[in-house]
Amino acid sequence: QEIQKDSIVKNKIDIKYTDKGFQFKTSDNKHLLHIESRLQFRFATPGDENPLTFDDIYPTSNTVFKINRARLKIGGHAFTPDLKYYFEYELSQSNLLDFRLMFEKWKGFHIKVGQWKTYYSRERIISSGKQQMVDRSIINRPFTLDRQQGISFYGRLFEESPADLTYHLSLLTGTGRGSTENDDNRLMYVGRLQWNFLGREVSMSGSDLKHVTKPEALIALAAATNTSPYTRFSQSGGGQLEGFQDGVSGQYTVNQGLIETAFKYKGFSWQSEVHHKTIFDNVNDTETHLRGMYVQAGYFFSNIFDFVPEPLEVAGRFGYYNPNIEIKQDLEEEFGLAFNWFFNGHRNKLTTEFTYFQIQSYNVIEPSDGLRFRVQWDISL
């Protein structure tokens, strides 16, 4: 009879609704599956995209109402809680974004294989569903490594001590999302060292929704090198920045680095990144230097003013991008102001955003400028 009982217990599945959607778990915790979907609706006027050049600042109005993201997310673990997996599929474009397996037995040394958002810059790593503004800053496009395929080693060392470190070392094909083969045998190498100098990690999501009572902070350095036909990466794979022609195998060698900070405390959140990138064109033997940075901060003013409703956060961002540092006048700036209303944290929120752009061109005295207004509803189901 005892045996009978055991076998029943074995087959029993625990089901819960969690912050990753419905979750199914075997009672021995060997297998777990969670399934979630996410929709992001966006209204933007006079246009949605960040302007890329002087002439790009909304020459014609193109008001947009669209589904910006429709994601299906499946994750969990298999055979042991240490072997985790995760898929993310973009339903509206029919793109497989993430597929990865993580072996996380030892806290100081984890291994990941598959395709995912390269652990390089905070802004890009934070899920589009957990952002503080409607979307990423103007510097994301030129500097992000986006999703790549490969292997990564990472972990956290000296936890809760003043030397608390989180490291990521990645060997990637460097040919972007959806590519099935590397173009040559030269890989992308990425390293990131994050010093959690208060002994606590800053969570990888925008806004301090938890109003943490002990301050969290980080300073991070990251660097990457890659040789490929591409000068930039996005969800659609490898591509070219303005002024670069379609490349052949190994045409562009890109070296880049960043300094990043982040901080959260009692409803206040801060983050910043300073980027530098050098592109060597191995065919035409030219060299271009790009520079950019942003700072971003937000606060729940209900903490100091009683009349402010609790679900409301106000956030601002300043971004700066110079596509070629030898041309001083070639300069793009972004000033953003956002109001978030968190119905249920990041899982159901409404964001209203105003952005002012100013773009200088090297051959014109007066800069071009423009204002954009966006409203976004992001909901996880």
Interface with a second copy, residue 92, by CB under 8 A:
yes
Residue 44 tokens read as 């933007």
180 exposure class (CB count in 10 Å sphere: 0-12, 13-18, 19+):
exposed
Interface with a second copy, residue 111, by CB under 8 A:
no
Among 318, 341, 354, 377, binds a second copy (CB under 8 A): 377
Among 81, 111, 159, 182, binds a second copy (CB under 8 A): 182
Question: CA-to-CA distance for 223 and 259, rounded, in angstroms?
Answer: 9
Interface with a second copy, residue 238, by CB under 8 A:
no
Interface with a second copy, residue 70, by CB under 8 A:
yes
Q: Which residues, numbered 11-30, are part of the site for a second copy (CB under 8 A)? A: 11, 13, 15-17, 21-22, 24, 26, 30
Here's the x/- map for a second copy, 330-369, by CB under 8 A: it reads as: -------------xx--xx---------------------
If the CB atoms of residues 149 and 368 are measured against a second copy, the closer one turns out to be 149
The SS3 assignment for 118 reads coil
Residue 3 tokens read as 């045996």
Question: CA-to-CA distance for 316 and 349, rounded, in angstroms?
Answer: 17
Among 89, 301, 341, 373, binds a second copy (CB under 8 A): 89
Min dist CB 113 to a second copy, Å, is 6
Q: For residue 372, what are the contacts with CB-CB under 8 A and spacing of at least 6? A: 44, 45, 46, 47, 58, 354, 355, 356, 357
Unique residue bearing structure tokens 């800069």 = 367
Q: Are 375 and 338 in contact (CB under 8 A)?
A: no
Q: For residue 25, what are the contacts with CB-CB under 8 A and spacing of at least 6? A: 13, 14, 15, 16, 31, 32, 33
Of 76-84, 273-281, 291-299, 362-370, which part binds a second copy (CB under 8 A)? 76-84
What residues make contact with a second copy under the rule CB under 8 A? Answer: 11, 13, 15-17, 21-22, 24, 26, 30-31, 33, 35, 37, 39, 41, 48, 61-67, 70, 74, 76, 78-79, 85, 87, 89, 91-92, 94-96, 99, 101, 113-115, 149-151, 173, 178, 180-182, 185, 343-344, 347-348, 377, 379-381
